[in-house]
Every structure is written in C-alpha cells, then in structure tokens.
Structure 1
Amino acid sequence: MIHKYFTEFRIETMIAIIVLSTFTISIVFNWLMRRFVKKTLVEHHKDVTAYLFMKHISTAIIYIIGIAFALIQIPAFKTIGHTLLAGAGVLSLVAGLASQQALSNIMSGILIVIFKPFKINDKITLRGTFTGTVEDINLRQVVLRDVENNRIIIPNSVISNDLLVNAHLGDTRNCRYIDIGIGYTSNTELALEIMKDEVAKHPLHIDSRTPEDIENNVPLVTARVTALGDSAVNLKVAAWAKDSADGYVLYCDLLQSIKKRFDTENIEIPFPQRSVTIAK
C-alpha cells in the first residue's frame, strides 16, 4: 500500500514538474521572441510576419512535447505520449526539410562574405539581364538597386551558383566602345581622327596606358576600322572612365559630340533605305 502511494506521488510530482517546466520554457521563449521582434524588427520597420509565424509553431511544439512527456508518466496513457512525441518528431522533420533552402541561403551568404566575389556598393550584372548596385547582403538574399531605383531580390544560393559580372572587382575603371558606321564615300581617316579627338578632350576620359605604353609612344586614344559592312564602313574607338557611372555619361556624351562633328565635316552616317516599286 505504501509503495502504491509512493508510486502515485512520484508520478504526480513528475507530471507537475513537467507541466511547470513546459509553461516556464514557453513563457521564456515567447518573452525572448517578443524582445527580439521589438528590438530588431519593429524599431527598424522590418516585416515581422515570418518571425511571429515561427513563434507560434515553436510554442505549439513545446507544448506537444511537454504534454507527451507528462502522459508517458501515466502507464495508461504511455502509448498516447509516445504517439505525441512521434508527431513532434515528424513536425521537426518537416521543419528541417522545409528549412533546407534557408540553410543553403545562409551557407551561401557566409561564403559570399568570406570570398567576396562582390561587396556593398559594387555594380554587378547577373545572367546578363539583372544589373544593379549591391545594397544589402544578408543571411538569406542579396538586394540590388537598379538605375530605376527598383530593388532586385536574389537568394544567396542562386547568386552563388550563377555567372555574374562585377564592374568593381579589383579594377574599377570602365572601358566603353563607341561603334559608328560611316558611308563609303566619306573620309575614313578624318572620321577616325574626329573620334579620337572627341574622346581625348572629354573631361571624364582617363589615360589607361601603362608607364611602358607611354614610354613606347602608344597613342592616348586608338580608333580603327573594324569591318566593311553592306552599307557602311564600321569604326570603333575605346573610351576609358574611372568607373561605370562615369563610363555611361562618357559614352552618351561622345555619341552626341561625334555625331555633331560628323555633321559639320559632312561625314555621312548611313541609314537603311528601301525602294518600293508599284506594278501597274
């Protein structure tokens, strides 16, 4: 009889301890989550939806595990307790499988920070389509800001496994090629000199020559005939700027100034023409 009462008292005590521990863990966990959400997210005006969702899921798992351990202490409910623990295990497995992509993004983000294929304020192009300045690198994604001030969100696992162009890696100088076709009857030598002159006198153009090039009298700007097309002689000149932003302005300005000089010197830039014959 005494043994029976002692056993029942032990079971009741264990159940009380488990229930109390479950409530304590739940309260502490929710307090920590609320503090994290308030300090880290709300004050910085970030979205709290995902964190609140995870808080509810985690709280439910805590209670399921606590109730399961309490039921295991009662012989008649031991099977139910094991079933609940198995259910919690399934939930954990599902959560683990669902978080594989998140873990992949985290690891990719860490590798990006370590090996630095790009960094904040670098201008990169992904897949030849998405171009922007790196605004943020976090554990899940990279945020690019394009020229229209849109944000391009790219998961870390995607950007770390794809080809990209970094305009600022190592050397920030930017080379812009200006291709212009002129008519076959135009003065080719004069057109080449005009192109070189317009590039050389532009304030954003920089000298990209090495000391060895200067010593060997390599020209500051080089322009060449690149092709004899169907209706035009194709010319190309290279213009260098200190970075891609200046390179874009340099390119646009040179298109305008070269066109103006060509008009003054009567150098023709041919355009497609079509003859239409109407049969009677």
Structure 2
Amino acid sequence: MPSLLEAIIASFIPSNSDIGSLFWAKRLLVALIVFGGFWLLAQAVCSVINRWGSKVTAFTKTDLDDRIVQRVTPSISLLLTFLGIYYAFRTLPLHEKIFRLLSGGLYVSIVVIVCILIYRVLHETLLWYAERQQDGENGTFSRQMAPMVEKITMLFIIGGALMAVLKHFNYDILSLVTALGIGSLAIGMAAKDTLAHVISGFTLMIDRPFRIGDRIQLASGQIGDVQDIGLRSTKIKTLDNQLLIIPNSDLCNTILTNQAFPDNRIKGRINVGVSYGSNAEQVKALLVQLALEVEDVLQEPAPEAFFVSFGESALNMALFFWVEEYAILFATTDKINSKILGRFREQGIEIPFPIRTVTLKHEQGTQTPQ
C-alpha cells in the first residue's frame, strides 16, 4: 500500500525534467512575445511612415525630407526587427559562451544597420546639395566637396561603430586610441609631403580657384580642362588630349589663369601688320567689320581694333573680340584670320615681309680689292 500511495502522489508532482521543460517553455514564450512586439512595432512604424510621411513632408518646400524618408524606412524596419531578436535572445537561459556569441553577433548587426541608416541620410543630403549646386542655386556644399565630405564622414561613422563594438566586448578603448594617436603621429612625420598635398586639396575645394570643367592656364603655359580634384592631386586634360596629374600643393603655390571665371566668355586677340602706305583708320574699320561677319563673335561687347605700334617694316594692328565659350576661341580665330587674309588681298592691303635696310660705309683711304 505505501508504495502505491507514493506512486499516486508522485504522479501529481512534476519531476526535475518536467520542471526544466516548463521553464524553457516559459522562456521561449517570453522571447516570442518580445520578438513579436518588436516585429509589430516595426510594421506599425513603417505603416505610419508610408501613410503619413508624405503628408507631413508635403508642408516643407524642399524634397529632401521626402527622399530621406523613402531611403530610411526599410532600414528602420530592419533595425526594429533585429532589436527584437536581440532582446528576445537575452531572455533565454543559454550557455554563457553561446549567449555571448549570439548576443555579440546580433549587436554587431544592429551597429551595422545603424551605420547604414546614418549613411543613407548623409548620402541623400549630399546628393540634394549637389543637385542644387548643379542647378545654379546657392548650396552649402559645392559639387566638388560633396564626395570629400561623404568620405570623411564615413571614416568617422566607421570609427564610431568600431569603438562601440569594442566597448561592447569590454576592450580598452583608451589604450587603442592612444596607440592610434602615436601611430598617426609617426605616419604623419613619415608622410608629410602627402599630408601637404591632402591639406592643399582641402584648400582648393574650399577656396575654389577653379572647378571641375573649368579651363585653366598654368604658369608654364599649358592649357587644359580640370577633370578631377582629388585628395592628393588634380587631373587636367590638355587640349591635345593628354592628362596632367599635378600635386595639389604645387597648384596652391603657383599662379594660374582660370579662363572660365567669372563666366565662359573669353576675349580673343589677333595681331596683324600692314604696310606703311596703308590707311590705318580704314584698316581698323575693316578688321572690326570682318570680325562681326563671323557668327561666333559676340555683338556685345563689340569687337575693337587698335593701331598698336610702329614696327620695323609694318604698322602693327590688334583686333580684340569676344566669344561665348572659350572652347571655340581657336576655331573663331581661324575664321577671322582667313577672312582678313582674303579681304586684304581683295582690297590691296599689303601684309609686308620683314624688311631690313643695310648701309655699308667705306672708310677713307681704304682701297677696294681688284
């Protein structure tokens, strides 16, 4: 009888395995509730953003907020979902090593998602500013500085994410920062020329003596169009289709001419000499008339001709004219030169060759050899 009674009583008392199973079931239920709550929150947030976001952003004059909302909505949903998984795992009584491994992996994933979220906001903002600059509006950043600012900010984002991850795994951040500081000082001393080029690159982008697409003339006389302004060097495409790569510090410390500033108009000059028997006023009027006959020459400012100087064998004239784009200056000069040559021949205006008069003097008492 006692054995039977003990068996009946034991049937109503759960065993240790049953207690463990019940405990795990409760923990799993709590984890599912936590994850389900975050998942529902993610769906609700996305639904609210999709439904009311465009209506709220419609009150602003710019489309920047619309673009940011559209880019960050998927990342917000993913972030809330991973947060739900992270906190759900923290409710489970896992083994310490397994818990640290899973928890650490989820934390790193959350940090990566936050970095992506910040990058998308930054990227859309810089694109918006670049488009405003391209459309001619007064943007805060120029088109040349936007990629540079994006790269530098990405370095800070990655650095902040790395510090957050290291702190989560209980690494000494102070010693790491100290080591990086000493290493940076050593690298800076060894690469001072490169750093000088980089600092000069920032100076060029802030001071903006030229922009991408501008045609500049270097102190050496080379002319080309600016293709790219990088951290270390600037690339210039010359008129004969060659690429000049010039260190930024050299460009900062030299004199150059920006033919595209303040606008793309450029002034051309043609020098021509006529014989001393020519009527200077008639020649000047003819030069202006010939310039106006060329379609690419601007009517305003009007072409001008001047009697510049008395040459050894000619009266030196100069014709000045303007064209809309510096890229067509050479072609326009060729057209005017051709017209000058043909019209001078028709009207009998001589372009003389260089003439020198040599006088030979014989001293008295010298005899001319027979």
TM-score band, normalised by the shorter chain? 0.5 to 0.7
Q: Does residue 244 of structure 1 match 2:345?
A: no
Classify the secondary structure of the residue corresponding to 1:169. Answer: coil
**What does residue range 117-132 of structure 1 map to in structure 2 within 5 Å?**
117-132=209-224
**What does residue range 212-231 of structure 1 map to in structure 2 within 5 Å?**
220-231=302-313
Alpha-carbon spacing, 1:224–1:274, altered in 2? closer, same or farther (3 Å): closer
Letter matched to residue 193 of structure 2? Q
CA deviations 1:226-258 (Å, max 9, x no partner) are 111221111112110012112221112111110
Q: 2:335 aligns with which of 253, 262, 268?
A: 253
**Residue of structure 1 equivalent to 2:277:** 185
Task: Give the Cα–Cα distance (whole angstroms) in 1 for the partners of residues 184 and 306 of structure 2.
Answer: 66
Q: How many correspondences in the alignment?
A: 183
Task: Give the Cα–Cα distance (whole angstroms) in 2 for the partners of residues 162 and 179 of structure 1.
Answer: 29
Q: Which has the larger radius of gyration?
A: 2
Alpha-carbon spacing, 1:194–1:177, altered in 2? closer, same or farther (3 Å): same
Higher helix proportion (structure 1 or 2): 2
8 Å contact kept, 1:187–1:267? no
**What does residue range 49-128 of structure 1 map to in structure 2 within 5 Å?**
95-128=187-220
User: 1:187 Cα deviation (Å)?
Assistant: 2.9
Task: Give the Cα–Cα distance (whole angstroms) in 1 for the partners of residues 313 and 287 of structure 2.
Answer: 20
**Residue of structure 1 equivalent to 2:234:** 142
Task: Give the Cα–Cα distance (whole angstroms) in 2 for the partners of residues 91 and 222 of structure 1.
Answer: 63
Further displaced range: 171-180 or 133-142: 171-180
Letter matched to residue 330 of structure 2? Y
CA deviations 1:35-60 (Å, max 9, x no partner) are xxxxxxxxxxxxxxxxxxxxxxxxxx
CA deviations 1:12-48 (Å, max 9, x no partner) are xxxxxxxxxxxxxxxxxxxxxxxxxxxxxxxxxxxxx
User: 1:207 Cα deviation (Å)?
Assistant: 2.6
Higher strand proportion (structure 1 or 2): 1
Q: 1:156 aligns with which of 239, 245, 248?
A: 248
Task: Give the Cα–Cα distance (whole angstroms) in 2 for the partners of residues 174 and 97 of structure 1.
Answer: 45
Classify the secondary structure of the residue corresponding to 1:139. Answer: coil
Classify the secondary structure of the residue corresponding to 1:127. Answer: coil
CA deviations 1:116-147 (Å, max 9, x no partner) are 11011100111142211001111000000001
**Residue of structure 1 equivalent to 2:292:** 200
Task: Give the Cα–Cα distance (whole angstroms) in 1 for the partners of residues 322 and 185 of structure 2.
Answer: 56
Classify the secondary structure of the residue corresponding to 2:198. Answer: helix
Alpha-carbon spacing, 1:191–1:243, altered in 2? closer, same or farther (3 Å): same
Task: Give the Cα–Cα distance (whole angstroms) in 1 for the partners of residues 304 and 222 of structure 2.
Answer: 31
Task: Give the Cα–Cα distance (whole angstroms) in 2 for the partners of residues 153 and 259 of structure 1.
Answer: 40
Task: Give the Cα–Cα distance (whole angstroms) in 2 for the partners of residues 92 and 247 of structure 1.
Answer: 49
Alpha-carbon spacing, 1:235–1:276, altered in 2? closer, same or farther (3 Å): closer
Task: Give the Cα–Cα distance (whole angstroms) in 2 for the partners of residues 167 and 227 of structure 1.
Answer: 27
Classify the secondary structure of the residue corresponding to 2:319. Answer: strand
Classify the secondary structure of the residue corresponding to 1:193. Answer: helix
8 Å contact kept, 2:312–2:355? no
Identical columns (%): 31
Letter matched to residue 238 of structure 1? F
8 Å contact kept, 2:303–2:322? no
TM-score normalised by length of structure 2: 0.46
8 Å contact kept, 1:225–1:233? yes
8 Å contact kept, 1:221–1:237? yes
Letter matched to residue 263 of structure 2? D
Name the Cα RMSD after superposition. 2.6
8 Å contact kept, 1:196–1:223? yes
User: 1:91 Cα deviation (Å)?
Assistant: 8.7
TM-score normalised by length of structure 1: 0.60
Task: Give the Cα–Cα distance (whole angstroms) in 2 for the partners of residues 189 and 98 of structure 1.
Answer: 67
Letter matched to residue 191 of structure 2? S
Q: Does residue 173 of structure 1 match 2:265?
A: yes
User: 1:266 Cα deviation (Å)?
Assistant: 0.7
Task: Give the Cα–Cα distance (whole angstroms) in 1 for the partners of residues 194 and 280 of structure 2.
Answer: 59
Q: 2:351 aligns with which of 266, 269, 275?
A: 269
Unpaired runs of at least 5, structure 1: 1-88, 210-219
Letter matched to residue 257 of structure 2? V
8 Å contact kept, 2:201–2:231? yes
Letter matched to residue 290 of structure 2? E
Task: Give the Cα–Cα distance (whole angstroms) in 1 for the partners of residues 300 and 253 of structure 2.
Answer: 33
**Residue of structure 2 equivalent to 1:23:** none
Task: Give the Cα–Cα distance (whole angstroms) in 1 for the partners of residues 192 and 323 of structure 2.
Answer: 44
